[in-house]
Amino acid sequence: MDSVDLDVLKHSAEWLDAGRRVLLVTVVKTWGSSPRPPGAMLAVRDDGLVVGSVSGGCIEDDLIDRTHRLGMTQQAVEVVTYGVSADEARRFGLPCGGTLQLVAEPLTRESGMRALLREIEAGHLTARRLDVLTGAATLHPARATDGLAFDGKTLTTIHGPRYRMLVIGASQLSKYLAQIAVGLDYQVTVCDPRDEYTETWDIPGVAVVRTMPDDTVKAMRLDERCAVVALTHDPKLDDMALLEALKSPAFYVGALGSRANNAKRRVRLLEVDVTEAELARLHGPIGLYIGSRTPPEIAISILAEVTAVKNGVALPDAARIAVAKERLTPSAACSLG
């Protein structure tokens, strides 16, 4: 599964290889409310076909209409602003008078789309710098803390996996979790030393390692842009990973299991050199309470919580599984794990 912006880059490269003309549109600045953030991209093909998104749909419609009416004649990079006036905001469907500034770049084979994709596929975080005056683009190594920059002359966009996720266990749930996490722009590694689980692993774009979980955590050198999700239910595997992960700067560390199992896990971790402060960082029971029962639903529940933590959203107690299940009848709570 590709993220939206990676899908834009892949289609752009494929269209260029097929001899089509392509316009790459990037949101560089917003004022007021806007449907998409800076960095969001849209590719328009010379026949009006589009991939990606820069608004709720109205600006896309305008770009498609212009392509159908006028053809793709643009030769130079242009900076375009939508929604400056109240009339334009209403016309383009921008909420609350929002305004978007876009950079529209006609792509060529010299735009480096294939080279950029090779860097992304190799797991390299890459900065693409576009000279607005000349249209020349260059690629450079980037840091996880780098972000989009635009000064009117140079547009710098950051591409590649900014966040990493380590999943302990190659179960069916792990497959759904990994698929969705890749779509959320995580570089996903699944760790499971058990051959009977990893032999059938078949999720593209996800690295599978068969080393012991604690060794994997150490080898990955987790930082503040990492999440660790333990899903095996096996203390010999989950606890070893959690022991190391809770001592790392990882922004999220969570473990699957019932309230009773999580209580036992916390006791075990305190007995093996995990401090109270470190243990307080552990999320478990993992996920948000959405009544999930199937592996795909549970994966969504887990990634919803990971996303909230990543974005600094304070969750109400009612959204937490442990609190929500305490309010259910005993039979209902049991059926939901």
Mapped onto helix, strand or coil, the DSSP state of residue 1 is coil
d(CA 141, CA 200): 35
d(CA 236, CA 217): 14
Domain extents for the chain? Answer: 4-159, 163-335
Q: What is the pLDDT of residue 336?
A: 41
pLDDT in tens, the chain (337 residues): 346 788 899 999 999 999 999 999 999 998 766 667 889 999 999 999 999 988 877 788 888 888 888 888 889 999 998 875 566 656 665 555 568 899 999 999 899 999 999 998 887 889 999 999 999 999 999 987 788 999 999 999 999 877 899 999 999 999 999 999 988 888 899 999 988 888 878 888 899 999 999 999 999 999 888 999 999 988 889 998 999 999 999 999 999 988 899 999 999 999 988 999 999 999 999 999 988 889 999 999 999 999 999 999 988 877 777 777 676 655 444 434 4
Compute CA 224 distance to the chain's CA centroid, rounded to the nearest angstrom.
15
Q: What is the pLDDT of residue 95?
A: 55
Domain 163-335: CATH architecture, name and number where available: 3-Layer(aba) Sandwich (3.40)
Cβ(105)–Cβ(129) below 8 Å: no
Q: What is the pLDDT of residue 97?
A: 56
